[in-house]
Structure formats: C-alpha cells, structure tokens
Amino acid sequence: MDPPDSSTSWVDSIRSSRLAPQRPSWKLRILRWLGLLAIIGCTIVGMIRVAEDRSLDLPWDGPTGKERYGLYGNGLPQHWVCGDGHDHYSLPYWMLSLACAVPTALFWFVWPRKRASR
C-alpha cells in the first residue's frame, strides 16, 4: 500500500483559507494599544482619586455658572453640592473605564474582520 500524498496536507489548506488570521493595519494596532492604555490609566487614576476622596469635576457654563461636571467615586452617578455652593454632577470612574473599554473591544474583536467577498 502506498503512503498518502503529503504535498497536499490539511495544514496548507488552513494557511491558504479565509480562516487564517489577518494582520491588522498599523492604524488599528495603534488604536488597540491606545485603548488598552486608556483603560489602564482610567482605572489607576480612579483608584487613586477614590482613595483620596477627590473629584475630577470641571466648571461648565450653565444657567447659574456654578455647575461642575465630571467624575467622582465608584458608585452610581450622583449630584452633590460642595462647600463652595457648586452643583456637582458626577459619573463614577468605572464608567470612564467602561467608555474606553467598549471601543477598544470593537478594535480587538469586530473591526479586524474582513467582509466576505462574493
């Protein structure tokens, strides 16, 4: 009995198929890594600011001029008034990390796929 022909192995068919991983463009790779750095940075800044019990709120020209919008704590979104009489509307730091994580996940898992050719 003759051995099977080894020149047409299943490995060659996998390498040439559409299942083989595609190398992403340099722009997509940069966006992926910037997204990961943003998630890590937001998480670290959030942990430091929460431990110090400080907010990251910025002034905004509202109806009274005393509104502040930004980040505070790691609970739920909240409204609070500081000692200076400013109205603070704050989101938790984890929401900023989540806002960075959603597009980063898209960069890693959805956008690198090429559309099927017809």
Confidence category of residue 106, pLDDT binned at 50, 70, 90: very high
Cβ partners under 8 Å of residue 44, min gap 6: none
The predicted pLDDT at position 82 comes to: 86
The predicted pLDDT at position 32 comes to: 94
Q: Where would I find the H helices in the chain? A: 10-16, 26-51, 93-109
Q: How far apart are CA 79 and CA 77, in angstroms?
A: 7
Q: How far apart are CA 48 and CA 43, in angstroms?
A: 9
Q: What is the mean pLDDT of residues 45-60?
A: 87
Token couple for 50: 């929460």
Angle (nearest 5°) at CA 58 between 97 and 89: 70
Q: How far apart are CA 96 and CA 50, in angstroms?
A: 14
71 vs 61: which has the higher pLDDT = 71
Q: How far is CA 8 from the centre of its chain?
A: 43
